[in-house]
Amino acid sequence: MTTEKILSPFDGRVIGEMPVSGAEEVERAILRSQAAFQKMRKLPRFVRADILLKAAELIKQRRDEFITTIAGEAGKPLYDARGEVSRAIFNLTNAAAEARRFGGEEVPLDMDAGVFEYQTTDSQGRPIALADLDSEALNRMRRRIGIARRFPIGPILAISPFNFPLNLVVHKVAPAIAVGNSVVLKPAPQTPLTSLLLQQVLTEAGLPDGALEVLHCSVPLAESMVRDERFAMVSFTGSARVGWHIKDIAGRKKVALELGGNGAVVVAEDADLDLAAARCVRGGVVYGGQYCIGVQRILVQESVAAAFTAKLVERVRACKVGDPMQEGVDVGPVIDEGSAIRIQSWIDEAVAGGAKLLHGGPRQGAVVQPTVLTDTAKGMKIEDEEVFGPVLTVNSYGSFDEAIARAGDSKYGLQGGMFTNDLRRAFQAIEDWDVGGLMVNDVPIYRIDNMPFGGWKESGFGREGTRYAMEEMSDIKHLVINYA
């Protein structure tokens, strides 16, 4: 098998080598996954839970190795790489807890008198009339129970992005294991080494052979797997363009898509401006802005716009930019120079169209300087599309209704944020703003890994978050027993 060198997006140094899978390796992996599913589906809950717990403990023991691998191949600052590892550990332990209790529910079958009368007969098969029954006879006849049980659906094809090479992989793999599925994982081509580490850890934790296959393969081979009916489901996180293409070619299998966003934040006149500015900067520049729920568009009430903007720019100026392997760096590179060139072109296009550059500078290789723009407008890529870079736009609004309308005027609907002490506004916003999650007095990047997570509109469909992903990766069989 050939290998491919995986390079640092910051300085091009070799981080490691990854085996490249061809058509034969892909076919073997699918067959192994099918065989492993037959074992996984029969494992008791406690076995699946214990595997996940052991994996979490092993990651704790190899924490530094995971951190440096993530920082190296993804160009992620060390602080954020540490946070990602902590989140993955929680993700695994939470999946273990959910594996022990996840099952189904009783479905009541005696809710309506008319339907009960119609569906029930006496011991000779003759219709009954409820009016003719005494309480003892009625009690005998009502003895039916419905049990809706959840079962694993089969091998899952998981396709993950580069920006969270551990935790967004765990978001797919851990729920699949928890319910008893097997997984074939295609990690992002830029960041496959972390997936290999995770596979090693899960194997050492006792995961059956073939239950997690990792394939670093070409796009045509990945598309062939998406089309392959031996998979029960495709779970994809990545760009909207690729995600909707996957849905088009996936056939009859289940599909879950966690796609992009251009996250908006509304700052009301009663907001804590220092908190709002600090969180908006963190939400906008974390990991070079390569965050599907990152802050991109900020809308500030006009009476506090000048004060807020000054605080925002001051905090952006204070961000330390440079080598992600150096302690204290806030912003490292984006994933490659091509992405940096695209981001810079969107900034330049906005300025040429009338936007004002409040802070920023020319890119250096793959490093894009944290940027603040104002006077941006609909029709600019920096407003309409997902920038996936450390770029913030800030504009003022008059009425709260105007702010919510502009925030929601997007083809995306992943997560949003707002800063206000008026709970009425918060409830109005969640009714009128079509996003999968709304963070009040915080920014869209806030995500705890057991939360339901997913988007509206072109941000995809289906939900991640441990229990919610387990529901997506299982299906219901309904058992009805007449024990009269």
The set of catalytic residues is 258, 292
Q: How far apart are CA 260 and CA 23, in angstroms?
A: 30
As given in the structure block, the two tokens for residue 468 are 């919610």
Calculate the CA 40 to chain-centre distance.
24
Residues 48, 51, 57: CA angle, nearest 5 degrees: 145
Q: Give, for 150, the enclosing helix (H) or strand (E).
A: strand 144-152
236-240 own/partner pairs: CB under 8 Å, 24+ apart: 236/158, 236/159, 237/159, 237/160, 237/161, 237/168, 237/171, 237/172, 237/292, 237/464, 238/159, 238/160, 238/161, 238/188, 239/386, 240/386, 240/412, 240/458, 240/459, 240/460
Q: How far apart are CA 221 and CA 236, in angstroms?
A: 15
Q: Give, for 275, the enclosing helix (H) or strand (E).
A: helix 273-285
3-state secondary structure 411-456: CEECEEEEECCCHHHHHHHHHHCCCCEEEECECCCCCCCCCCECCE
Is the distance from CB of 273 to CB of 308 less than 8 angstroms? yes
The candidate with the shortest Cα–Cα distance to 99, out of 182, 178, 44, is 178
What is the DSSP secondary structure assignment for residue 142, as one 8-state letter?
T
Sheet holding 144-152, edge to edge: 104-107, 144-152, 474-482
| Maximum separation of any 2 CA atoms in the chain, in Å | 86
Q: How far apart are CA 390 and CA 376, in angstroms?
A: 16
Q: How far apart are CA 125 and CA 123, in angstroms?
A: 6
Cα atoms in the Cβ-side hemisphere of radius 13 Å centred on 220: 2
Is the distance from CB of 438 to CB of 404 less than 8 angstroms? no
Kindly compute the dihedral angle of the four CA atoms of residues 426, 431, 437, 440, in this order, to the nearest 10 degrees. Answer: 0
